[in-house]
């Protein structure tokens, strides 16, 4: 089953285009978990979040930085977290890889074969040869950074290049390279006008991963309306901190579920 087939199936079943980012930063975990489990608290935290929200999402997105920061144990926790997520739910590795071809090939092998992630984020700045090894995995999805959600995105992504911003050139390349129908793009909710432009460029069959809701204060309604396709789908709305850290008390998993349910319903109202 391809990434798109898997994504659409779980989105229909859960009536959801909400993706929860498992940005489980150890210092921010509830103190009782950290005191009880040490660094392994990340795994117990993820377990509780996944069990509380698995029927409300279309995907999960662990950010690898928060696991790599813990060293070898963190990578073991990342692997075990992947095992906790039901097989029918797509997992997007937020890795933002980008390097020369032979290095990219090693990254792709690690993320798609060893960790068995369904998708990965990739920085396409180095050009097609740095992206191509990921695209060889036709059943997986490679999300190219196009217009990111951070304030510094304007430094380069909006530079005028031959009469239009650089991010639009990247979106056009994403569509051009999508011969296997396994490319997606990343566009931040903090840039809703650019979201609409990118959707027009990439067409209706490419998924858009939309970070920037919650802690980064992106406008959810505008982001959803500008990123969905003509069928009101394929906009993966990622929310991380405002869901998983909704509470730091014993009820953190319940609070995460409440936040996720509210967001899912708000996304569906905007889609409608």
| pLDDT recorded at residue 62 | 98
Tokens of 87: 């097989």
CATH code (residue 25): 3.20.20.70
Of 6, 61, 80, 96, catalytic:
96
Domain of residue 83, residue span: 3-271
Residues 6+ apart with CB under 8 A from 211: 21, 148, 149, 186, 188, 189, 218, 238, 240
- Alpha-carbon distance of 161 to 125, in angstroms, equals 14
| pLDDT recorded at residue 220 | 94
Counting the structural domains of the chain, the total is 1
The number of CA neighbours under 13 Å toward the Cβ of 107 is: 25
Give catalytic status of residue 96 as yes or no. yes
- Alpha-carbon distance of 157 to 136, in angstroms, equals 27
| pLDDT recorded at residue 217 | 64
- Alpha-carbon distance of 112 to 84, in angstroms, equals 17
pLDDT in tens, the chain (272 residues): 999 999 999 999 999 999 999 999 999 999 999 999 999 999 999 999 999 999 999 999 999 999 999 999 999 999 999 999 999 999 999 999 999 999 999 999 999 999 999 999 999 999 999 999 999 999 999 999 999 999 999 999 989 999 999 999 999 999 999 999 999 999 999 999 999 999 999 999 999 999 998 767 679 999 999 999 999 999 999 999 999 999 999 999 999 999 999 999 999 999 99
Answer whether 121's CB lies under 8 Å from 95's CB: yes
| pLDDT recorded at residue 43 | 98
Residues 6+ apart with CB under 8 A from 261: 56
- Alpha-carbon distance of 150 to 28, in angstroms, equals 21
């Amino acid at each position: 089953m391809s990434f798109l087939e898997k994504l659409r199936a779980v989105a229909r079943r859960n009536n959801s285009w909400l993706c929860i980012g498992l940005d489980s930063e150890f210092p921010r975990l509830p103190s009782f978990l950290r005191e009880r489990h040490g660094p392994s608290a990340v795994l117990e935290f993820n377990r509780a979040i996944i069990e509380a929200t698995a029927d409300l999402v279309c995907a999960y997105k662990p950010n690898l930085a928060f696991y790599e920061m813990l060293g070898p144990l963190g990578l073991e926790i990342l692997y075990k977290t992947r095992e906790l997520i039901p097989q029918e739910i797509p997992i997007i590795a937020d890795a933002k890889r980008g390097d020369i071809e032979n290095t990219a090939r090693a990254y792709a092998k690690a993320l798609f074969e060893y960790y068995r992630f369904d998708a990965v984020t990739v920085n396409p700045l180095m050009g097609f040869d740095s992206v191509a090894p990921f695209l060889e995995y036709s059943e997986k999805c490679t999300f190219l950074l196009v217009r990111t959600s951070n304030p510094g995105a304007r430094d380069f992504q909006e530079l005028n290049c031959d009469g239009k911003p650089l991010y639009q050139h990247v979106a056009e390349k994403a569509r051009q390279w999508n011969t296997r129908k396994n490319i997606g793009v990343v566009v931040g909710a903090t840039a809703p006008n650019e979201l609409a432009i990118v959707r027009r460029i990439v067409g209706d069959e490419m998924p858009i991963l939309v970070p920037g809701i919650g802690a980064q204060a992106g406008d959810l309604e505008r982001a959803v309306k500008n990123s969905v396709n003509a069928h009101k789908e394929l906009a993966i709305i990622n929310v991380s901190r405002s869901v998983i850290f909704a509470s730091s008390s014993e009820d953190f998993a319940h609070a995460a579920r409440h936040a996720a349910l509210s967001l899912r319903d708000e996304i569906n109202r905007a889609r409608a």
